[in-house]
Amino acid sequence: MFYREAGQYKTSYAADMAVFPLRQDRIGLGIIIAAAYALAFTKNDFLLQAVMIPFLIFSLAAIGLNLLTGYAGLLSLGTGGFMGVGAYACYKLMTAFPEVNVLVWILTSGFFAAGIGVLFGLPSLRIKGFYLAVATLAAQFFLQWAFNRVPWLVNYNVSGAIEAPLRTLFGVPIVGPNATPEVRYLVVLTLVIFLTWIASNIVRGRVGREWMAIRDMDIAAELMGIKLLNTKLLAFAASSYYCGVAGAMLVFLWYGGAEYTVFDINQSFFTLFMIIIGGLGSLIGSFFGAALIFIMPIGLGMLLPALLAPFGLSIGSETIEHLRFLIVGALIIFFLIVEPHGLARLWQIGKQKLRVWPFPY
């Protein structure tokens, strides 16, 4: 009734090819973005610092992996390592050239990750599927080893950790302990919206279509004239770029410091689960997946004691932790059974139902 395209006529090719052809979608997106910016003014530090900032950063990393795995069909377990490359590159750059704005370095550090990604993407020309996953696993282990064993990367810091020095934008601190969560949230949100917009254009354009052609059948794609070498390596480069930027943001806009264990294999799995549950080959799915994997456990941690309190039950923090694991695990299985194509597909079905509501046929 409310969500229907009746009466919206397209009078130009541009209108017909728009990312959001429905007026309601455009309004909805505008409201979501406005609401996201409005959150910065709630002054709720916990919400911003512990929930929204990491959620957006993990979403960006999930978008990065989705470009590679969801769109180009190349399975990778090196996400954590590529994120680390971005973080350490950013650290080296911002300490070597402190006069350049940190945002420039955060966006530049992605190119270093892209370079490393291309290097470790070379085997993808000969191997596919699980075998490629193992090859990228090597990248993960090697990079993690390098972060730990190459003291040059941490500027010979005794503790082996990288720390975020104070950096400002227009005189307001955005990196370092003095940066307020509100400011950092606004920076993260803007970067994530900007990069998501770029990604949505990449995947709808020629490059994205080439990736999808390779994903669906690489021999057919080759026969159509798509160069496998260039396209696959481009997928690795784009994916690693996004992961690298996410890694740099993770350290400098969220943690404020990190040791190499932040970028371990668990981070890779974490991101892979996000895109599998959110939906392979879907940008919005990356956000859904990050929300389900990251925000839901936090929500449960707050909800469970509140639910049990009226019954006079008080449970220890470790029991909550165990319950969180149980419930999140069960919900993942539930969602995958209900919709194997991920939450993004569920979202699509929901929208379809909404179109014909209240008179379904």
Partner 1 sequence: MSFRKLKLGAAAAVLIGATAIPALAQDSIYVPLLTYRTGPFAGSGIPIADGMHDYLRMLNERDGGIGGVKLNIEECETGYDTKKGVECYESIKGKNPAVVNPYSTGITLQLIPKAAVDKIPLLSMAYGLSPSADGNVFPWIFNPPVTYWDGASVFIKYAAEKEGGMDKLKGKKIALLHLDAPYGKEPIPLLEALSKELGFQLILYPVAAQDMQNQGAIWLNVRRDRPDWIYLQGWGAMNPTAVKEAVRNGFPIGKMVGVWWSGGDDDARAGGDQAKGYKSLDFHAVGTDFGVIKDVQKHVIDKGLSKYPKEKVGDNLYNRGIYNSMLVGEAIRTAQQITGKKAVNGEDVRKGLEALNITEARLKELGMEGFAAPVKVSCEDHNGHRKVFVAEWDGTKWVKASDWIEPMKDKVRPLIEAGAKDYAEKNTGWPKRSESCAKSS
The residues binding partner 1 (CB under 8 A) are 45-46, 49-50, 54, 95, 98, 145, 148-149, 155, 157-161, 163-166, 173, 176-178, 255-262, 264, 298-300, 302-303, 306, 316-318, 320-322, 338-339, 346, 349-350, 353, 357
Min dist CB 35 to partner 1, Å, is: 12
Nearer to partner 1 (CB atom), residue 212 or residue 327: 327
Helices (H), the chain: 13-16, 23-39, 45, 53-65, 79-96, 102-121, 129-149, 181-204, 206-216, 218-223, 228-249, 265-278, 283-290, 296-308, 317-338, 343-356
Q: What is the DSSP string of 62-97?
A: HHHHIIIIIIS----S-HHHHHHHHHHHHHHHHHH-
Nearer to partner 1 (CB atom), residue 199 or residue 250: 250
Nearer to partner 1 (CB atom), residue 22 or residue 47: 47
Min dist CB 153 to partner 1, Å, is: 13
Min dist CB 166 to partner 1, Å, is: 3
Nearer to partner 1 (CB atom), residue 121 or residue 279: 279
Distance CA 127, CA 133 (A): 9
Distance CA 232, CA 214 (A): 8
Instruction: Collect all residues with Cβ–Cβ distance below 8 Å to 45 and sequence separation of at least 6.
Output: 181
Min dist CB 74 to partner 1, Å, is: 25
Task: With residue 193 as reference, give the H or E element that holds it.
Answer: helix 181-204
Nearer to partner 1 (CB atom), residue 72 or residue 154: 154
The token pair at 37 is: 């910016």
Min dist CB 225 to partner 1, Å, is: 41
Nearer to partner 1 (CB atom), residue 214 or residue 253: 253
Min dist CB 45 to partner 1, Å, is: 7
